[in-house]
Amino acid sequence: MRIMKKTILFLALGFGGLLAAQTNAQLTRLDLQPTLSTNAPPAKAKAKVADAKPKPPTEIDSDSADFDLNAHLATYRNHVVVTDPKVRMTCEWMLVTLPSGGEHLSHVVATTNVVVDFTNEQGEKYHVTAAKAVYDYKVVNTVTNETVTFTGNPVVDTTNSTIYSEPMVWDRGRNHFLFTEPIMKSKDTGTNGPAQKLF
Amino acid sequence: MKFHAATFCPAVGAAIFLFAGTSDRAQSLPVGHATDFTSNQYFEPPNERLVKMKLSGAEALPLPGGLLDIRQLRVETFTLDGQTQVVVRAPQCNYSPFDGVANSAGHMELQSGDGKIHVQGEGFLWRQTSSSLTISNHVHTLIDMPGVMM
């Protein structure tokens, strides 16, 4: 797999903070929590155990929906809006695999004009757009893998920058983004210059 | 899926209402007004003694074409271990016992057996044979479990 062949560059920084780079890296990690040093070693992946903290229900609104009770599938169509306390997502089509007695949704596919807005723990706002987003949740040996993979011209827009990457993976368990050959436009310069490759 | 048996519990004044039998043979049609009825659908053999779906209503009125106008519809589906899978409720719907299809332009609600998923909307089509539900308008879902979406 192409990604596996790439050197993984760990960037310990916030979107509003510092950028550090290494050459020949095409897969980039961007942490969502601010870090003080650009020379910090790669952040250790923290194993996230199942979150037992209760949270308010997530709401899904749409024009129409189909439920297949045998296959445990819910398909939402047209003006789909997903909201919970931290995240808001809109799209035109969304397939949810409902857990059969499980405690956690494991697979969600959203397509067509996918827009995700969320605020991280530091209060930084993120605006992600893509043609498709796939949410996967898996627990292997007590380690939780929870990712959202954006494809179809994904763009993440923050206060200070706009980053393009195909694909773009939001690792929710480790709270960072993984970019492939990212291109960033900084908003700090206030210019409309051409987009530059990050690395 | 087939109706292998049906049971009804008509209240006072209720009457003549029966849709027993299987889908591949003629069913008895309701010929009158019924209240507080229940119809059970069973799993295929070898689990033919286990209830797969329970359809009940507060009132049923016969309509032309063999349809039934059901008030206070409640459809409950079960897993093989007897757990409630979902409960569907609607104040009113038209039900076709021949093909097991219920539909309405009105309000409906669905709740999962564990209570973690609640759906409501306006206008629906319930296909009994495939255990599928289409909600046409204003679908609102509450999911009370972690990691729903991004």
pLDDT confidence bin for A73, thresholds 50/70/90: very high
Domain assignment present for A198: no
What is A11-36 written as a DSSP string? E---TTS-----TT--EEEEESS--S
Number of domains in chain B: 1
Domain assignment present for B42: yes
pLDDT of A12 higher than 50: no
Say what the pLDDT of residue A33 is: 46
pLDDT tens track for A109-144 = 999 999 999 988 788 899 999 999 999 988 888 888
Domain assignment present for A34: yes
pLDDT tens track for B9-44 = 333 233 333 333 333 333 333 456 888 888 888 999
Higher pLDDT, A16 or B100: B100
Say what the pLDDT of residue A142 is: 85
Scanning every residue of chain A, which has its alpha carbon at the shortest distance from the alpha carbon of B86?
A: A69
| CATH number (domain holding residue B85) | 2.60.450.10
Closest CB from B121, B137, B149 relative to A82: B149
| CATH number (domain holding residue A9) | 2.60.450.10
Q: How far is A119 from chain B (nearest CA, A)?
A: 11
pLDDT tens track for A17-72 = 333 333 334 556 655 543 322 233 344 444 444 445 567 888 999 999 999 988 98
Give the whole-number percent of chain A exceeding pLDDT 70.
Answer: 65
Structure ipTM: 0.79
pLDDT confidence bin for B66, thresholds 50/70/90: confident
CA distance linking residue B33 with residue A182, whole number of Å:
69
Number of domains in chain A: 1
Domain assignment present for A193: no
Domain assignment present for A196: no
Contact B67, B95 (CB under 8 A): yes
What is A98-141 written as a DSSP string? --SS-SS--EEEEEEEEEEEEE-TTS-EEEEEEEEEEEEEEEET
Say what the pLDDT of residue B144 is: 85
Domain assignment present for B128: yes
The H or E element containing residue A194 is: none
pLDDT of B71 higher than 90: yes
Domain assignment present for A172: yes
Domain assignment present for A61: yes
**What are the chain B neighbours of A137 within 8 Å (beta carbons)?**
147
Domain assignment present for A194: no
Domain assignment present for B17: no
Q: How far is B67 from chain A (nearest CA, A)?
A: 23
Say what the pLDDT of residue A187 is: 81
Inter-chain touch A61–B110, beta carbons under 8 Å: no
Domain assignment present for B27: no
Inter-chain touch B139–A57, beta carbons under 8 Å: no
pLDDT of A183 higher than 70: yes
Domain assignment present for A175: yes
Say what the pLDDT of residue A104 is: 80
Say what the pLDDT of residue A23 is: 33
pLDDT of B108 higher than 70: yes
Domain assignment present for B131: yes
Q: What domain range is B94 assigned to?
A: 34-143
**What are the chain B neighbours of A59 within 8 Å (beta carbons)?**
140-143
What CA dihedral angle connects A181, A183, A188 and A192, to 10 degrees? 170
- Identify the three-state secondary structure at position A3: helix
Domain assignment present for B12: no
Average pLDDT rounded to a whole number, residues B93-104: 91
Higher pLDDT, A113 or A106: A113
Q: Which residues lie across from A111 on neighbouring strands? A: A93, A132
Scanning every residue of chain A, which has its alpha carbon at the shortest distance from the alpha carbon of B131?
A: A69
Say what the pLDDT of residue A141 is: 86
Q: What domain range is A11 assigned to?
A: 2-45+55-187
Inter-chain touch A108–B145, beta carbons under 8 Å: no
